[in-house]
Chains A and B, each alone.
Chain A
Amino acid sequence: MNDITKLDNRLSIEKSAPGRRALKFKGRIKHGAAPVPETLRRKTAPRLPELSEFDAVRHFTRLSKINFSVDSHFYPLGSCTMKYNPRVNEDIAALDGFAGLHPLASDETAQGTLECLYDLQNRLCELCGMDAITLQPAAGAHSEFTGLLVARAYFARKGQKDRVEIIVPDSAHGTNPATASMLGFSPVNINSGPDGRVDLEVLKRHLGAKTAVVMLTVPNTLGIFESNIETITKMAHEAGALVYMDGANFNALIGLVKPGELGVDIMHLNMHKTFSTPHGGGGPGAGAIAVKKYLDSYLPVPVIKKEGGRFLADFNRPLTVGRVKAFFGNTGVLLKAYAYMLMHSSRELGEIAENAIINANYAKALLKDCFPAHSKEHCMHECVLTPGPEMTKQGIKTLDIAKRLLDYGFHAPTVYFPLIVHEAIMIEPTETETRETIDEFASAMKKISAEAASDPQKVKDAPHTMPVKRLDEVQAARQPNLRW
């Protein structure tokens, strides 16, 4: 990477010159159509940058270079699964036959895409041990939303509209309670037990005739498997509630455990995490929710079906919750997931989880002296650590460690999450990183720990090598400047 401390932080609009042009559209059809009537016509030109193509290419290339990414840096963000995304996926999704297909193309002309989606549906159901699936949701949180809609429709059908509570452990993702309240449910927060798992006694107290769903993140955000899950799902079912599994951390279970066998009724998958789509600076992702057969009929439309050797998008589902977005799902992302599935046997899928788990435990073991783990148990695919006492003594916070890591050429882990761990540092190396990379990362972490004793100010003032130093977030929020 070039010297990224030299920052040209001018905006494209500041590089703009009136009359400068990149793309021109001369119009392939000249037509003397009547001009747009005055009342309907735009009056002032939008303030967009005016650049040559070269200006634009250079501007955005420069911006790309002042950015960490998986391609350029180790990116151990916990709960985000920043693994390597095979490049062949990009080629595949960009094939004209796929990328050029209109979403309202007739089923006859879309057989190739429909076949991919259909087979992907089947493979995912098998992998999850579930009976039916929708690939409509555009992202993880969108999947949760869809999953809870299904649960609601199910209870409405059963005449149990008074089931309005969603039990969410404090070790869950923030999207869980947000989704519950977005749909008008009352989220009920329950505290974890001392071992980081759902406390069965606490759960029992909250389960009742009002409970609609118990929402579990498995493994949870502490990197721990809910070992009592069979009991939990049994308790929930006895209370008449459904169990929803947040599958954002499925990379830890893929090929190793079938969630359907754990007793969960609804689960979601973040296709972009486990099934390897680049995260693109925050999307696009793709979601899916898999359900047991008694929930099948509530899935959103369309569902891809096969009838008499041909594939079709089925809209004829009277009990459906409806549409969660226009057209089908994020098909481009789903095609990448499908290509990834094609390249893995079930045994190879299991190796993904195994190596993700080994890498996380390895990082945890290397760091145990300087960064004690929140839990003494072995972890699944991610571990939650905290700064050691000698660092805390010097007033060094997790944020300081995160910023100093940037100087060492590593993206920071997820910090201050889960909220229930004070000064949390959450590390997820994923299966695609090699042992050497984790060694180097651990060595940087240890150096920071040593710096805490020798030169704490250096850590507190970090980063020193980035294009900007610590940014004033308070000013940004108090006096929002959100556009040119």
Chain B
Amino acid sequence: MFIGNTKKDREEMLKIIGVNSFSDLVKQVPEKFLYPKFKLPADGMDEMQAAAAMRTLASKNKMLKSFVGAGAYARYIPAALKALLSRGEFLTAYTPYQAEASQGILQTIYEYQSSMAALYEMDYGNASMYDGASAFAEAVRAAVRITGRKKVLYSYGVNPQYIATLKTYFGGGEDYKFIQIPHKDGCLDLAGLEGLLDQETACVAAQSPNFFGLAEDFGKVSELAKAQGALFVAAADPVSLGLFRTPGAQGADFAVGEGQGLGLPLSYGGPYLGIFTCKKEYVRQMPGRISGLTKDKDGKRGFVLTLQAREQHIRRDKAASNICSNEALCALGATIYLALLGPEGLKELAQANYDAAHAAAERLCAIKGISLKFKGTFFNEFTLALPCDARKLRSRLIEKENIDPGLPLKDFYPELGDTLLVCATETTTEEDVSRLEKAVRESI
């Protein structure tokens, strides 16, 4: 349907190639494999039909007011961002292998790296990873590579999907030890950490705000890790960094995050954006692409992909990782988003999230039998202890009220009992909170 050549073109081209028919071109494919039978529709749809079919399918998803966060957030996407990202020159470019013809992309990657380094208060960042989970796993892999040690300590509050991905990245390898650090009221327990840290520990990996929405105080974590020669890997929601202390300020060696909240749609889990940053001594251990500033023959400023000796297309089996395609367009989206916000806008945005979540928590905790599960400072989500079955409450509210009240945590943390992880963002209104409160009050 999107083929340029006409039948006449094909015939003339085959003549110029010097063959009689197309089948002469594919003689290297054993005949018995050619043109197999397919049980696929005999007719393709035209554009109008396909668009209509997809609209029908989209309408089968039930759109409701959702208070689910847990690593992906409903946030406002500015119109200017959408307009810029849909420009064909960005959308349909490839990896900037010909730097002179790709200065636009290369400069935006450089700006992205700069913005991420500034946001996380780290020295350097790469051009993006697949998502927060893969960025987290690759950071731990780097720490293991650097230290040559095989024990990884992780905090209770790291997104469980990140931990699952991490374990997969080590191939479920029994050579490695992954140990959960005890928690105190949802946050990392320093005494517990001290008991686990030793000379075999590659890194301490933690997240703030953590999976329960709690801001962690990592002041001492990195000190303790370093005393044993281990590294500190920190994950953080970029938007929270408009208000909260950064991984860099708390001594992280690697800092990662999920960049979806920086202007990308939810889209059922992807494409998202894996943010990856590090201290300068580890820059050559970073996976993936990096854009660097340099000069051209006339001394003019320009950008190129650099430090490529870490990458698979040069180093093959000696590469720091195998990543090739990354999430360049999503990274560009985040760059534009942050340029539209600036430092003040980001602070306001973080404050709006903070306020919305605190308002929702206050209203919900006024309901008899409901309380906060953990006492600490939270950002834009919080964990409620419920007096009823959390899963049933959720189903009931989805079905009857068109509200998804949050994520029951039983599947991830059975020991927490009936708890609900509730999220509010700048898109949440007073009315949304009132609706949620009323619905919960009437349903428990």
Contact = CB atoms under 8 A, between A and B. Distances in A.
B22 A104 contact: no
A348 B44 contact: yes
B245 A22 contact: no
B4 A433 contact: yes
A346 interface: yes
A225 B68 CA distance: 49
Interface string B13-57: 110111100101111111001111011111111110111011101
B322 A283 contact: no
Interface string A355-371: 10111011011100000
Query: B33, B34, B94 — which one has the most chain A CB atoms within 10 A of its CB?
Result: B94
B72 to A, nearest CB: 5
B232 interface: no
Interface string A265-296: 00000101000101111111110000000000
B101 A332 contact: no
Secondary structure type dominating chain A contacts: loop
Interface stretch (B126-134, B193-201, B365-373): B126-134
A199 interface: no
Interface stretch (A201-209, A323-331, A390-398): A323-331
B38 A127 contact: yes
Given A47-B118, A180-B317, A411-B98, A278 B16 contact: no
Contacts of A45: 343-344, 347
B297 A36 contact: no
Given A469-B100, A470-B297, A283 B128 contact: yes
A443 to B, nearest CB: 14
B418 interface: no
B58 A177 contact: no
Contacts of A283: 128, 271, 325-330
Nearest to A110: B61
B300 A68 contact: no
Nearest to A13: B114
B340 A285 contact: no
B343 to A, nearest CB: 4
B358 A61 contact: no
Given A139-B325, A178-B317, A327 B110 contact: no
A257 interface: yes
A99 B267 contact: yes
Interface stretch (B222-230, B306-314, B436-444): B306-314
Contacts of A437: 4
Given A108-B62, A345-B41, A40 B317 contact: no
A460 to B, nearest CB: 11
Contact of B133 (A49, A325, A471): A325
Interface residues of B, number: 205
Contact of B300 (A27, A338, A346, A468): A468
Contact of A323 (B165, B340, B355): B165
B316 interface: yes
Nearest to B38: A346
B71 interface: yes
Contact of A329 (B96, B270, B303): B270
Given A361-B25, A472-B294, A178 B321 contact: yes
B245 A43 contact: yes
Nearest to B4: A434
B364 to A, nearest CB: 13
B36 A344 contact: no
Contact of B325 (A30, A60, A140): A140
Given A11-B107, A42-B244, A111 B16 contact: no
Contacts of B352: 25-29
B60 A92 contact: no
A198 B1 CA distance: 35
B66 interface: yes
A69 B51 contact: no
Contact of A484 (B60, B108, B114, B426): B114
B255 to A, nearest CB: 13
Given A100-B74, A105-B68, A471-B296, A328 B270 contact: yes
B71 A326 contact: yes
A86 B40 CA distance: 21
B33 A257 contact: yes
A350 B35 contact: yes
17 contacts: A22-B345, A42-B249, A46-B115, A48-B118, A49-B111, A50-B342, A56-B84, A63-B107, A77-B97, A105-B66, A281-B93, A322-B165, A329-B270, A467-B103, A471-B302, A476-B294, A477-B308
Given A178-B312, A270-B325, 18 more contacts: A21-B342, A21-B344, A28-B426, A36-B354, A71-B88, A85-B92, A94-B265, A96-B58, A98-B268, A104-B68, A105-B68, A106-B395, A257-B33, A345-B42, A358-B14, A359-B13, A477-B309, A482-B293
